[in-house]
Amino acid sequence: MPRSTRHRQHFTDTHSHTVQVKKAPCCSVVLEDRIVDVLLPHLAGVAIEDIRAEGGSVRIIASAVHGAGRCPSCGTNSQRIHDRYRRRLADVAIGGRPTAIHLRVRRFRCDLPSCPRRTFVEQLDALTFRHGRRSQLQQDMLTAIGRFLAVRAGARLAAMLHCTVSPNTLLERVRRLPAEPPERSPRVLGVDDFALKRGHVYGTVLIDIEKGDVVDVLPDRTAETFTTWLEQHPGAEIVCRDRASAYAEAVRMAAPDALQIADRFHLWQNLCKAVEKCVVAHRGCLTSPDDDQDEPVELPAEPPVIEGKRAANTRRNYAAVHEMYDKGVAIQVIAETLHMDRKTVRRYAHATTVEEVLSPPPRRHSTMQSWAEYLNMRWQEGCTDSGRLFREIQERGYRGSSRSVRRWLEPLRSAESPTPKRSEAPTVRQVTGWLTRHPESLGSGQQLRLKRVVTRCPELADLRRHIHDFAAMMANLHGHLLPRWIKAAEGSDLPSLRAFAPNLRKDFDAVIAGLTLPYSSGMVEGHVNRVKYLKRQGYGRANFDLLRRRVLLTQ
């Protein structure tokens, strides 16, 4: 629209005085036009009549100047003006001040007899929309804030930008955005699950491996749901997945011609679990002969003397209770005087000595006696972590609670004898990490300790060779060597490794493809982390519908 048709009259500051615009110098008018073009480009289609700074806000008074309006129902242009009225639109801030546009618009008559609409209001491109109380610029900005921040964080950021909006409004804006998957599946499709409620509800995210974009999000991780999606969106030629059988079955049913690729990370993860079981089975080889010559620690035969702040408070309360009880004071009166529970006062009063109160309850030998020998042996070896000991005996068939194990170890912890010397032998987790990490990433000390372990244990040395061969095959994409590796693993003396090899045969084609082709699920795992971040960012407002839209709209 030519600047000559604009009718800017004056700029008003209510805190000072009205400043008249000088129209004589031509360069001043040109400068005003350039300022408006730069600061208010979305108002290019209207005539700005006045700009007022009222307190801490800015008011822009403008009028629509288009010659005709287009009917939204039939598309007919009309020049018959039925009425005029003012619309107030909240706009983006100018100079750090909230801004409102008071726009005078026209209502036109539709002359087409067959049109059901008799009158309509003109809408200005890039400025207004139907029933909107915001400018299109502010509406787009709030939509972007809702996509990337949502809920409370988005509302706080909008307030800092002088845009008043509630968290629910932001969520409504996100829900109105189109978030439909493409009609066809990408050529290389990645699939993995993520937790909506860990242990209870899981979803599935689908990724275009070649482009790195999210294709769709499914409400569960069942084979039926994924099968339906693949049938509705054909076109997948390669599917990267983990070792889950549900996804494999869905691809076989809905896309039988697609090549399935078992992710290398999950293959390595499964191998690491088998390696850990092998190291656990040969835990005795981790201790050097010099450690076995240490003198055993003598376990206390009698309950030790219990000391500490809690024991001191118990002794003080016990003395105060007996001082009053020996004088014939009733237990209820003692409890009210000393502000103690009546049951506690009775137990103190009926105890002959304070040691009866301090000593722990007698052990239930029927529960822990069968595990006493193993716990004492592990205590002498230097393992004093009750949680770890509980997990070890639980794997061996213990059905009790971890609290019983802690109670069993209390006399050992409070004994006057020194704490058993911790063995210099590495732990199972350390040896597992040394075996499954790249040799160049190990320090000189770690390499030396690992060498000592494999020297003492031929089985672990054999395990190390199998791990090295599998890692080289995976890093160099030599999948053709997998049958020979499986045959060697099945012929080894390591039960856990022999159990791992047949699992590779069950998914043989996908494992071969994963160890041959360059595709993997690494990009999918990155998107899973992003989904978790978006879910936490929702502050409890991340139901599946909203989470799916945010995942698809925040690529």
- pLDDT higher than 70, residue 504: yes
Mean pLDDT of the residues in the chain:
83
Q: What's the topology of domain 188-263+520-553?
A: Nucleotidyltransferase; domain 5 (3.30.420)
Distances (CA, A) of 82 to 70, 74, 111, 113, 129: 14, 18, 12, 16, 19
**pLDDT of 292:** 46
- pLDDT higher than 80, residue 392: yes
Question: Exposed, middle or buried: residue 36 (CB in 10 Å: 0-12, 13-18, 19+)?
Answer: middle
AA letter at 103: L
**pLDDT of 146:** 86
- pLDDT higher than 50, residue 350: yes
Contact 374, 355 (CB under 8 A): no
Q: What confidence category does residue 516 fall into, taking pLDDT thresholds of 50, 70 and 90?
A: very high
SS (H, E, C) 104-139: EEEEEECCCCCCCCCEEECCCCCCCCCCCCECHHHH
Residue carrying structure tokens 């006045």: 50
- CA angle, residues 400, 401, 404, in degrees to nearest 5: 95
Residue 171 makes CB contacts below 8 A (sequence gap 6+) with 146, 150, 151, 541, 546
**pLDDT of 424:** 66
Q: Which of 34-38, 142-146, 227-231, 254-258 has the lowest mean pLDDT?
A: 34-38
Residues 409/413/418/420 CA torsion (nearest 10 deg): 40
* Domain range list for the chain: 3-133, 188-263+520-553, 266-285+426-514, 289-303+362-413, 309-358
Q: pLDDT for 46-81, tens place per residue? A: 888 888 888 889 999 999 887 788 898 898 888 888
Q: What confidence category does residue 465 fall into, taking pLDDT thresholds of 50, 70 and 90?
A: very high
What is the helix (H) or strand (E) element at residue 60, kind and residue range? Answer: strand 57-64
Retrieve residue 236's tokens. Answer: 């997948």
**CA 317 to CA 347: how far, in whole Å?**
11
**CA 27 to CA 491: how far, in whole Å?**
92
Distances (CA, A) of 373 to 55, 150, 167, 489: 83, 58, 61, 35
Q: pLDDT for 366-384, tens place per residue? A: 577 788 888 888 887 778 8
Tell me the pairing of strands 259-262 and 77-78.
Answer: unpaired
Nearest Cα to 256, choosing from 273, 275, 231? 231
- pLDDT higher than 80, residue 466: yes
Share of the chain above pLDDT 90, in %: 30
Q: pLDDT for 164-216, tens place per residue? A: 888 888 888 888 888 888 889 999 999 999 888 877 889 999 999 999 899 99
Residue 523 makes CB contacts below 8 A (sequence gap 6+) with 190, 207, 209, 212
Residue carrying structure tokens 């982390």: 529
Distances (CA, A) of 54 to 14, 100, 164: 6, 11, 18
pLDDT (mean) for 78-103:
90
**CA 41 to CA 35: how far, in whole Å?**
9
Task: Name 187's bridge partners.
Answer: none
**pLDDT of 28:** 59
Residue 92 DSSP SS3: strand
What is the helix (H) or strand (E) element at residue 514, kind and residue range? Answer: helix 508-514
**pLDDT of 12:** 45
Retrieve residue 117's tokens. Answer: 């609409």
**pLDDT of 32:** 64
**pLDDT of 102:** 92
Report CA Rg, the chain: 38
**pLDDT of 33:** 66
5 vs 369 pLDDT, higher one: 369
Nearest Cα to 68, choosing from 97, 110, 33, 32? 110
**pLDDT of 272:** 93
- pLDDT higher than 70, residue 552: yes
**pLDDT of 297:** 44
**pLDDT of 236:** 92
**CA 524 to CA 216: how far, in whole Å?**
12
**pLDDT of 20:** 40
SS (H, E, C) 192-254: EEEEEECCCEEEEEEEECCCCEEEEEECCCCHHHHHHHHHHCCCCCEEEECCCHHHHHHHHHH
Q: Which of 7-11, 90-94, 144-148 has the lowest mean pLDDT?
A: 7-11
pLDDT (mean) for 91-116:
90
pLDDT (mean) for 92-100:
89
**pLDDT of 67:** 79
Q: What is the DSSP letter of 71?
A: -
Q: pLDDT for 142-170, tens place per residue? A: 988 888 887 788 889 999 999 988 888 88
What is the helix (H) or strand (E) element at residue 191, kind and residue range? Answer: strand 188-197
Share of the chain above pLDDT 70, in %: 86
Q: pLDDT for 31-42, tens place per residue? A: 666 777 777 888
pLDDT (mean) for 477-505:
91
Q: pLDDT for 287-331, tens place per residue? A: 766 554 444 444 444 555 666 777 888 888 889 998 888 888 888
Q: pLDDT for 415-464, tens place per residue? A: 655 455 555 678 889 999 999 999 888 887 888 889 989 998 899 999 99
425 vs 332 pLDDT, higher one: 332
Residue 11 DSSP SS3: strand
